[in-house]
Amino acid sequence: MNNLRSFMWMFATVLLASMMFVSCTKEGPAGLPGKDGANGKDGENGINGQDGTATCAVCHDNSQSLFTASRQWEASLHATGGHFVRNNGECAICHTSQGFLGHQNGTYDYTATGAIINNPNPPNCYTCHNIHATYTESDWALTVNGAISMFNTTETFDFGKGSLCASCHQGRNISNFPVVGGNPITVANTRYHMHYGTQANIITGLGMFNIGDGLNNSLHTALIPDQCVTCHMTTAYGYESGGHAMYLRNAAGVLNTAGCVDCHSNNTDLIASVNALQAEVSALLDELKAKLDAAGITAAGSDNTIAGTYPAVVGGAAINYRAVKEDKSLGVHNPTYTVKLLQNTIAALP
C-alpha cells in the first residue's frame, strides 16, 4: 500500500511540473490577420572591396614589356657574369642584389666580421627598381638617385639615372693611393688597381691619378643627361644590345648608335670616329704598358702588379693603365680626357 501511495505522489508531481512547463513556453494568441509588424530599418551598405588584380595590372598588362625587359636582362652580364657568388664582405655590395640594397639602406655592414649575404642573387629587377613596394607605377622608381660619392676623392657627381649604375661601376678605394709628386708607395699584392668597373671614374675624370696639364673632360661628361642609361639602355637590338641587355655592340660587332644620334647625326662619321679613337687609345695603352714593365711594377704578358716600393708616379701610372683598360670603352666614355691622361702618364715615366 505504501509503495502505491509513493508512486501516486511521484506521478502527481511529474504531471504538475509538466503542466507548469507547458504553461511557461506556450505561444500567445496569434495577431490579427493582415496586421504584420513594420519591417526594421535597413542597415548601411558595406564598402565594396578592391579588385585584387587592379594594382597588378598597372605593370602586369598585356603589352609584353615586362617579358621583353626580362629576356634582355637574362642576356646581360648582370645575369650571366656578375660573380654573385662573391657574397661576403665588400664584394657583396656590388656583386649581390641583397648586398647592394643592404649597403644603400644601412642593413648590411660589409666591414662587420663575418659579413655575408646568404642565398645571394645577381643584380636584377629588385636591385634597380622599387619592385612591389606600393604596387603602383612608383615601383618603377630607381633605388639610387642624385649625386653619389666617388672613391679616392672627396668629390661627388650626379649621373642622372646613371647614378644607380655608377654606384658600382667605379673603382674601389685604394688606401695607399699615390699623390702626384708625393712619397713612394708600397705595393703589397698583384692587384694594385681600382678593380674592374672604372667607368664612372673615366666619365668624370674623378678618383684618378691626374698628372700633367690639359686634363679636360669631353662633352660627354656634361651633355649626356642620364649618362650610362642614355647610351647603354637605348632602343634595343633584340636581346643583343641596348635595352636591359645594355651592350653597345651586337653579336656581329655592330655598334648600336641609337642613343648617340641626338648629337651625332651622321652615323657613318660617328662609327669612323669611334674606330679611330679606340685604335689610338689601344696604342697608347700598349706604350704605357711597356713603360710599366720597364719600371718593374708589371711584367710582359701580365697586367698584375709586382710587390715592391715604387715612386709615386710609377704607382699612379699603374692605376691609370688599369683604370683605362678596365673601363673597356677604349676612350669612348670620355675621349678628350682619356687620350690626354694616357699621354701625360707616358710622358711622366722615364
pLDDT of residue 5: 58
Q: Indicate the pTM of the whole model.
A: 0.83
pLDDT of residue 234: 96
Q: What is the C-alpha to C-alpha distance for residues 100 and 161, in angstroms, rounded to an integer?
A: 17
**Are 197 and 326 spatial neighbours (Cβ–Cβ below 8 Å)?**
yes
CA-to-CA separations, 76 to 79, 119, 195, 226, 244, in angstroms, rounded: 6, 21, 20, 20, 7
Q: What is the pLDDT along the chain (350 residues), one digit of tens a residue?
A: 555 555 565 655 655 555 555 555 455 566 666 666 677 788 788 887 767 677 888 888 889 999 999 999 999 999 998 789 999 999 999 999 999 999 999 999 999 999 999 999 999 999 999 999 999 889 999 999 999 999 999 999 999 999 999 999 999 999 999 999 999 999 999 999 999 999 999 999 999 999 999 999 999 999 999 999 999 999 999 999 999 999 999 999 999 999 999 999 999 999 999 999 999 999 999 999 999 999 999 999 999 999 999 999 999 999 999 999 999 999 999 999 999 999 999 999 99
pLDDT of residue 7: 53
Cα radius of gyration (the chain): 37
C-alpha cell at 188: 703589397
- Torsion angles phi and psi, residue 177, rounded to 5: -65, 130
Q: What is the DSSP string of 213-225?
A: S-----HHHHH-T
